[in-house]
Structure formats: C-alpha cells, structure tokens
Homo-oligomer: A and B are copies of this chain.
C-alpha cells in the first residue's frame, strides 16, 4: 500500500486530465499529500452498503461492480465501472453512508481522496466545482438512462445489450473473455441465470455469437444491435 507505484504523482495520473485540470498547484499538492490507493484482488469488497462514506474513489485500473443486496439476499448490479470512472455515483455528496456495495470483478487499483479534502477544494474553487458537477452528473444520467432502456427490453434484447456493452464499452473488441459469470450478467440486467444461459445458447445456434466458456466472439454484430434495439 505504500509502494511508490501506488503513490505515484497525481499530476501524472491520467485522471488528472479529466478532473483535476482546474486545480491550482496548491490544491493538487493537497490531493497528492492526502490521497491513497489500494489494489483489490478479484472478488474483494471495496466498500459495503451502509458503511460510512469518507472517501471519494476512482478506478485507475481493473473492473468494479456497484450492487445492492436486498433482505432476501437477491443481488442487483447497478453499474460497472471502468478505469477512470468514479465509484459510488453521487453518494459522496448526498449520503452519509453508501447506498450500494462495491467490489472488484477483476484485480483493480482504486484511488482514494478524503471527502473532506474534496469538499474544501470545491468550496474554494468554483471552476473545478463546475467541471466536477458536469462529469459526475453525466455518469448519473447514463446509469439512469441505461436502467430505463433496459426495463423496456425483453430477454433477448437485454442479453444483446449486455454483450454489446462488454464488446463496445469495456473491451472494444468483438472477441473478449467475459469478466463475469452468467449469474452476474443476470444480476446486471435483471434476468434469471437459466435464461441468460438459454439465450446465449439460442444466439450461438443462430450464429450470432460463438461461446466457449467465458470466451465470447460476436459473429453478427448488426443482428445483435437490432436485437438490442427492438426489445
């Protein structure tokens, strides 16, 4: 946790260019001196529903899921986060405790900045506040939008959507290894595991995709887009 890699200079962090460009040298130093980073192994929990929010977090590398668990133990994945995404939606500002749990899907490097530090900088630096507001609100919009769109689709459309998501947004390739189990895909799009499997088989039989365990190859992306759109 204290190796130099983890404490690399904030001004060199890719994240800087997205979020921190409006910071004064003093403010950047403040963050550098107060930030922290930690590597999480696949499956490790970064924070749990109900815990106190005390850090703003963003993902430097890996893949993370944001999820909630109800009394019955049903898991619902709210969203995935890729490198350079910030975690926890806006809970940082609207809630004392996390509304959702966060855990690592792949080995992940997470960077932490205490909320108190971030707050003081926002209070001091309106230009940064504005920039921050824009970036973070667009994430929120996207999550809501996705959820609304998904709720209109049915089985095949939902599966098509999630395959396209991994292909286009996460891996940028027509062939990739699924980072999640069939069960987790179901949790992401609100479908039972059995049906995820069934539809993947259908798609394979219809020559839309190829599957070999977690390895997926998209053979007919246009068909997939059509399916995702139609519903």
Contact = CB atoms under 8 A, between A and B. Distances in A.
A145 B99 contact: yes
A5 interface: no
A74 interface: yes
A125 B126 contact: yes
Interface in A181-200: 190
A133 B130 contact: no
13 contacts: A68-B148, A78-B148, A91-B141, A93-B138, A94-B140, A95-B138, A119-B130, A122-B129, A123-B126, A123-B127, A126-B129, A143-B144, A147-B148
Interface string A126-155: 110110111011101101110110011000
A152 to B, nearest CB: 7
Nearest to A68: B148
Contacts of A129: 122-123, 126, 129-130, 133
Give the copy number: 2
Given A148-B147, A152-B74, A134 B68 contact: no
A21 interface: no
Contacts of A93: 130, 133-134, 137-138
A70 interface: yes
Among A122, A126, A136, A140, chain B packs the most CB atoms within 10 A around the CB of A126
A153 to B, nearest CB: 11
A38 interface: no
A90 to B, nearest CB: 4
A76 interface: yes
